[in-house]
């Protein structure tokens, strides 16, 4: 199982309508980004949810792969909805390449105050997808417990692609 690391890109917005360009080098040992979260960290105090205070875009591998386009919202200060959920992302990283992006402030000028937005990237040092890892672990467990043979006997009339591949490898 791969090691997961989180990269944080912080952006300071000082004036209404500001466009901020950023570049971030992801450590070269990380092979893949699997999720992201773009959040308003601090600055705008509001009683209401503001669904859009700006837009963030990010490209990976030095502009070769446009992967993120997201609206950033501001939560009410008295009732913040802290979400720890990452949006899914599936980008293989090339070593030494950059994450390049733009943030555009669209906050209404009547409530504008300088604020900070953060882009959190969840990356791993493994190139395998989690589903592939789960299937491999399941097959290894089945081999150990001789379940694979029993499954083959019970499902002999059904063609299951991964089981057919297993037959070729076993024979």
Q: What is the pLDDT of residues 15-35, one digit of tens each?
A: 998 999 999 888 888 888 888
Q: 74 near 26, Cβ under 8 Å? A: no
Decide: pTM greater than 0.75.
no
Nearest to residue 93, comparing CAs of 131, 58, 127, 57? 127
For 62-85, what is the mean pLDDT?
74
Q: 47 near 30, Cβ under 8 Å? A: no
What pLDDT band is residue 127 in, cutting at 50, 70 and 90?
confident
Rounded Cα–Cα distance for residues 71 and 73 (Å): 7
Q: Provide the pLDDT for residue 12.
A: 93
Q: Provide the pLDDT for residue 11.
A: 92
Task: Calculate the average pLDDT of the chain.
Answer: 76
Nearest to residue 109, comparing CAs of 38, 10, 13, 21? 13
Buried b (16+ CB within 10 A) or exposed e, 125-138: ebeeeeeeeeeeee
φ, ψ at 152 (rounded to 5°): -65, -40
Q: Provide the pLDDT for residue 157.
A: 55
DSSP run (H or E) holding 165: helix 161-170
Q: What is the DSSP letter of 90?
A: E
- pLDDT at residue 82 above 90? no
What pLDDT band is residue 10 in, cutting at 50, 70 and 90?
very high
- What domains does the chain contain, in order, with CATH numbers? 4-124 (2.60.120.230), 130-170 (no CATH)
- Total Cβ atoms within 10 A of residue 107: 23
Q: What is the DSSP letter of 156?
A: T
What pLDDT band is residue 160 in, cutting at 50, 70 and 90?
low
């Amino acid at each position: 199982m791969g090691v997961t690391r989180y990269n944080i890109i912080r952006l300071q917005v000082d004036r209404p309508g500001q466009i901020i360009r950023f570049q971030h080098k992801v450590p070269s040992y990380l092979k893949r980004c699997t999720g992201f979260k773009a959040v308003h960290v601090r600055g705008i105090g509001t009683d209401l949810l503001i669904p859009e205070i700006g837009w963030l875009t990010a490209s990976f591998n030095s502009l070769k792969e446009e992967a993120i386009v997201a609206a950033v919202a501001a939560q009410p200060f008295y009732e913040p909805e802290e979400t720890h959920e990452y949006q899914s992302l599936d980008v293989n990283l090339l070593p030494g390449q950059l994450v390049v992006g733009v943030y555009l402030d669209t906050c209404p000028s009547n409530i504008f105050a300088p604020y900070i937005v953060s882009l959190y990237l969840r990356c791993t040092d493994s190139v395998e997808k989690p589903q592939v890892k789960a299937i491999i672990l399941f097959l290894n467990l089945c081999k150990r417990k001789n379940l694979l043979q029993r499954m083959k006997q019970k499902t002999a009339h059904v063609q299951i692609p991964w089981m057919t591949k297993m037959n070729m490898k076993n024979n």
